[in-house]
Amino acid sequence: MSMVAQVEPIFPRMVELRRIFHQYPELAFEEKRTAAVIMEELQRLDIAFEYGGVGGGVVAQITGKEEGPTVALRADMDALPGEEMTGLPFASSNKGKMHACGHDGHMAMLLGAAALLKENPPPGKVRLIFQPAEERGAGAKVMIKAGALKGVKAIFGGHVMRQFKVGEFMVAHGLITAHSDKFTIRVQGRGGHGARPHEAVDAIVVTGLLIMAIQTLISREINPFHPSVVTIGQVQAGSAPNVIAEGALLQGTIRTTEPAVRNHILHGLKRMAKATGELHNAMVDIEITEGYPPVINTDREAEIARQAALKVVGEKGLIPIEYPSMGSEDFSFYLREAPGCYVRIGACREGWKNIPLHSPAFDFDEEALRMGAAFFDQVAREAIAEYAKEP
């Protein structure tokens, strides 16, 4: 029986679970109902688990009849803020929340793999990590602190992608996602009447100049061969058409793939903020908040994942990585503690256009659930067999 064919008996249940998760999305650290559905399914499968309560995650373990190494598989539970525009019959019932990033699919895949692993346990232990707050709040750190990686030889995770078709996997060594940082800039000028600008320091003018200056950090100071992004996504200033704004707020994100480039951009932002303030007699303060580190797959685990994907989809289904994603992922925190590999799982139906992650219209082909469950089942078996060779 092929790796995918063995999923057939449990496929309807995975679809059912995915639709339940999708219809009742919950935001980061609020995944109460989501966790309850997961625990109910684990109980049905007779798999032992522990729950960290609301704000925590669910950690289950499947133990084989023989002693052996422990490997971990991870799925994220949280949804995103936003109004769903998919038109699906099981669209979000929770106003202002939706599964726009495929986490509903990730949970269903891992529960499908759990069913396969429980039916025929490998000679070792498989830790199943259902994690809160991937989108914001670094829920991975919560799970690590709770001991989810204790005794684990390696961890594997993945993400559905509409850039790839169902039956395609991207498995790669090294850098997969970028380092993310957030910045907040506060401009303090001196308010006044719009008809008497000489009596004021216009925070909006200072902000405009600062926005344009920041754009030159990437275009004129960073080697084009080092992918980097600085985006200002939020600007707040002003109260009335005839009032010179006293203050302004800018918020943005920094994405980098090289530590030296990251340091240059961070210092450059501080330099430009200070210089712009001095140039225009305003107070400009900048606060930088470190985000998620880069996801860097370890070589041995990437090869284990590649072998698992080969058995699921064959050589034609393996898609090479062209360049790292400038997105970020808190799976990176697990990789600071243990070796591991993060893969991309094709989820686009033939004839569909690519709708990006986080779009209010995002959906994926549920046939991808078969592939994801088969992969997670197989990668756990491959990893346990590989580590069992060690003395």
- Alpha helix (H) ranges present in 69-138? 103-119
Burial of 82 by CB count in 10 Å (0-12 exposed, 13-18 middle, 19+ buried)? middle
Phi, psi of 253 (to 5 degrees): -130, 150
Domains 5-176+294-387 and 179-290 are alike in CATH topology: no
Question: In degrees to the nearest 10, what's the CA dihedral of 136, 139, 140, 141?
Answer: 100
Q: Which CATH number fits domain 5-176+294-387: 1.10.760.10, 3.40.50.300, 3.40.630.10, 1.10.10.10?
A: 3.40.630.10
For 110, the token pair is: 């891992």
pLDDT band per the 50, 70, 90 thresholds, residue 1 = low
Report the candidate in 240, 131, 261 with the shortest Cα–Cα distance to residue 195: 240
For 31, the token pair is: 């995944």
H-helix or E-strand containing 15? helix 11-23
Report the candidate in 99, 73, 96, 84 with the shortest Cα–Cα distance to residue 20: 99
Mean pLDDT of the chain: 96
DSSP string, 276-315: HHHHTT-EEEEEEEE-PPPPEE-HHHHHHHHHHHHHHH-G
The stretch 231-259 carries a mean pLDDT of: 97
| Residue 135 annotated in ligand binding | yes
Report the candidate in 380, 386, 391 with the shortest Cα–Cα distance to residue 122: 380
CB burial readout 170-203, b (16+ within 10 A) else e:
bbbbebbbbbbbebebbbebbbbeeeeeeebbbb
The stretch 194-216 carries a mean pLDDT of: 97
The CA distance from 182 to 170, in Å, is 28
The stretch 134-140 carries a mean pLDDT of: 95
At a CB cut-off of 8 Å and minimum separation 6, what does 54 contact?
29, 30, 31, 32, 35
pTM value surpassing 0.75: yes
Identify the pLDDT of residue 216.
Answer: 96
Does residue 390 register a pLDDT over 90?
A: no
The per-residue pLDDT for range 8-22, each reduced to its tens digit, is 999 999 999 999 999
The stretch 221-240 carries a mean pLDDT of: 96
For 314, the token pair is: 């064959």
Q: Are 332 and 294 in contact (CB under 8 A)?
A: yes
For 259, the token pair is: 């530590």
The per-residue pLDDT for range 269-292, each reduced to its tens digit, is 999 999 999 999 999 999 999 999
The stretch 244-264 carries a mean pLDDT of: 97
The stretch 234-246 carries a mean pLDDT of: 97
Q: Are 297 and 341 in contact (CB under 8 A)?
A: yes
The per-residue pLDDT for range 302-336, each reduced to its tens digit, is 999 999 999 999 999 999 887 889 999 999 999 99
Reduce the DSSP state of residue 363 to 3 states and report it: coil
Does residue 132 register a pLDDT over 60?
A: yes
| Residue 280 annotated in ligand binding | no
Percentage above 70 pLDDT, the chain: 100
Using only C-alpha atoms, the chain has a radius of gyration, in whole angstroms, of 24
Does residue 85 register a pLDDT over 90?
A: yes
| Residue 159 annotated in ligand binding | yes
Question: In degrees to the nearest 10, what's the CA dihedral of 14, 65, 75, 388?
Answer: -130
Residue 378 Ramachandran class (φ > 0 left, ψ -120 to 50 alpha, else beta): alpha
179-290, which class in CATH?
alpha beta
The stretch 143-168 carries a mean pLDDT of: 97
For 113, the token pair is: 């793999």
The CA distance from 49 to 31, in Å, is 16
pLDDT band per the 50, 70, 90 thresholds, residue 3 = confident
Domain boundaries, the chain: 5-176+294-387, 179-290
Identify the pLDDT of residue 318.
Answer: 97
Q: Are 207 and 187 in contact (CB under 8 A)?
A: yes
Tell me how far the alpha carbon of residue 367 is from its chain's centroid: 21
